[in-house]
Chain A
C-alpha cells in the first residue's frame, strides 16, 4: 500500500487516540479483585473450561500497562456481576474480540481485512488467527523483539514451513546469528495484510521481494554478495518474460522461472561456499522442473548470473564483442557512402 493511502489513516489514528482512550488504571484493581483468582473459570457449552485469571504482572509489563484499563478493550463489561455471554466455545469468545483492537489500531485492523487470515475467518474457518493469536491478549509486547520472535509467532500454526525456513540461509542467520538484516516471515509476507502466495500477481511480484535486499549495494556489500543477480536475471529470457508478463496484466497460466523457482522459497540456501555443491549438482534437476529432457549441457546455458567474460563464457563474450564492433562499423560505413553520394549529387548541380 502506498504511503499516501496510509497517511489519512495514520492521522486519524493519532488524532483519535487521546480522545478515545482515557487511562483507567484505577479499575484494574477493581477487576483484579476477582480476576486475580487463578482458579476462576467458566464452563462453556462446548465442554471447555475458560479460565478467567488475569496475570497482573504480565499486563503491567505489556505495552498497554499503565496506558489502558480493562474496559478499554472489554467495552461490553458495564456492570458487576457481568451479564452472561452467549459464547459456545473458547474460540468463539476469541473471535468475538476481533474488533477490540480496532478502536486504537484502526490502520492495522483495516489491513487485516485484506489478509488471507481474515478471508479464512470470513468463510468460517475458526482456526484462522485474530489479533490476539499473534500478539497475545493481556501480555502484549513488541512482536519483533527479538526479531526471531516473528518467525516463532508464525510457527505456532505454520510449523512445517517454519522448520524449513529455520534451516535456510536466512533462517539460520536470523535465529543462530541474531542477524537483523535477513528477512523474517513478515518481510516477504507482510504482517497485517498478509496476502496468500496464491493471490493473483503474487508470483510475478516475488522477484521484487528478493530485489529489496539483493539489489541493495550497501547491504550486499556487507556479505560479499553481488547486486548484479537481479540485473542479470532481468536481462535473461526468464527475467524478461517475468517483467513483461507483469506489464501486460493478462491473467491465466504464466510460465517463467522466477528467483524462487530455482533458489527455493523457504529453503533458500547459499550458492557459494560449503553446502552450495548440492545446488550445482541439482542444477539439471532444477531446469528439468520446467524443461523436461534438459541435459547437463542444457543447464550450462544458464550463466549463473555472470556477465559473459572471456574466462567465464568466451563464445558469448566473443559474439557480444563482435557485434559491438560490427554494427557501428557497418552502419557508419553505409551512412558515409550515402553522404558521399549526396555530396556528389549536390556538387554536380
Chain B
C-alpha cells in the first residue's frame, strides 16, 4: 500500500518544534540548578556563563513555554468550540480497554495487538501528562519568579513547596521524554531511527494501517475518490 495522509497541520508541527526547542533549553538550564552539587552541573552552569545568566535564560524560556502552552490550550479549546477540531486526543473508555488489550498482547495473552484510532493510549497519556506537567511547572515557576507577590495571597510555605514541586516535576518531565518519548519516536523498532511524522506532518498509509488501524478503517470508509488527504 503506497501513499500517505497528512496527520499534523502546519500549526501543530510548528508548535511541536517550538516546545521541543524550549524544552531542551529549560532542561539544560533547569537540571543543573536542581543538581547543583554535582560537578557536571557546576561545569554546565559555568559553561553557560554563570548561575545568574543561567537563571535568566531559564526564566525567559519558562515565559516562552508558558505562552506556548497558553496559546496551544486557547487555540485547542477555540477550534473545538468552532467545530473545526475533533476531540480525538480526549481519553475515552476505549483507551483503558486498549491499554489492557495491548498489555495482554505483550504478555502473550492474545495474538493480535490492540487497534487504535488517531491517538493511541500511549500518545494520549504523554499529551495529557505534558499538559498537566505544564500546568504544574508554569504555576510553580510563577510562584518562584514572584515570591513576594505570592506571599501576599498564600502562606509562605507555598514557596519552598513550589520549589520542590517545580524541580521534581521538571525532572520527571525530562525523564519521561528521555525514556518514553525518545523510545517511541526514535528507538522503537517500528520507527527506528526517526519518526519524522511530527516534522513533515505525513504518515505513510502502511504505518497508519499498522499503528492506527481503527483510524485507517475509518478514513477508508469516509474516503471519496476526490479526497485530497490520500494519494
Q: How many Å lie between the Cα of A308 and that of B163 in the bound state?
A: 13
Closest B residue, CB atoms, query A324: B168
Judging by beta carbons under 8 Å apart, are A250 and B157 in contact? Answer: no
Question: Using Cβ atoms and an 8 Å threshold, which residues of chain A touch B205?
Answer: none
Contact of B226 with A by CB under 8 A:
no
Question: Using Cβ atoms and an 8 Å threshold, which residues of chain A touch B46?
Answer: 247-249
Judging by beta carbons under 8 Å apart, are B156 and A300 in contact? Answer: yes
Question: Using Cβ atoms and an 8 Å threshold, which residues of chain A touch B61?
Answer: none
Chain B interface residue count, CB cutoff 8 Å, equals: 42
Q: How many Å lie between the Cα of A237 and that of B51 in the bound state?
A: 11
Which listed segment binds A: B6-14, B18-26, B145-153, B211-219?
Answer: B145-153
Judging by beta carbons under 8 Å apart, are B160 and A295 in contact? Answer: no
Judging by beta carbons under 8 Å apart, are B148 and A319 in contact? Answer: no
Interface residues of A in 214-247 (CB under 8 A from B): 234, 237, 240-241, 243-245, 247
Judging by beta carbons under 8 Å apart, are B179 and A316 in contact? Answer: no
Q: How many Å lie between the Cα of A331 and that of B129 in the bound state?
A: 13
Question: How many A-B residue pairs lie within 8 Å, measured between CB atoms?
Answer: 115
Chain A interface residue count, CB cutoff 8 Å, equals: 45
Q: How many Å lie between the Cα of A30 and that of B33 in the bound state?
A: 72
Judging by beta carbons under 8 Å apart, are A341 and B188 in contact? Answer: yes
Task: Classify the interface of chain B: helix, strand, loop or mixed.
Answer: helix
Judging by beta carbons under 8 Å apart, are B165 and A301 in contact? Answer: no
Judging by beta carbons under 8 Å apart, are A316 and B156 in contact? Answer: no
Question: Using Cβ atoms and an 8 Å threshold, which residues of chain B touch A293?
Answer: 148
Which of A291, A302, A327, A340 is the one whose CB lies under 8 Å from B172?
A: A327
Interface residues of B in 121-158 (CB under 8 A from A): 122, 147-148, 151-152, 154-158
Question: Using Cβ atoms and an 8 Å threshold, which residues of chain B touch A323?
Answer: 164-165, 168-169, 172
Which listed segment binds A: B64-72, B77-85, B89-97, B100-108?
Answer: B100-108
Closest A residue, CB atoms, query B171: A327
User: Measuring CB to CB, which residues of chain A are less than 8 angstroms from any residue of chain B?
Assistant: 234, 237, 240-241, 243-245, 247-250, 291, 293-295, 297-303, 308, 313, 315-316, 318-320, 323, 326-327, 330-331, 334-335, 337-338, 340-345, 347
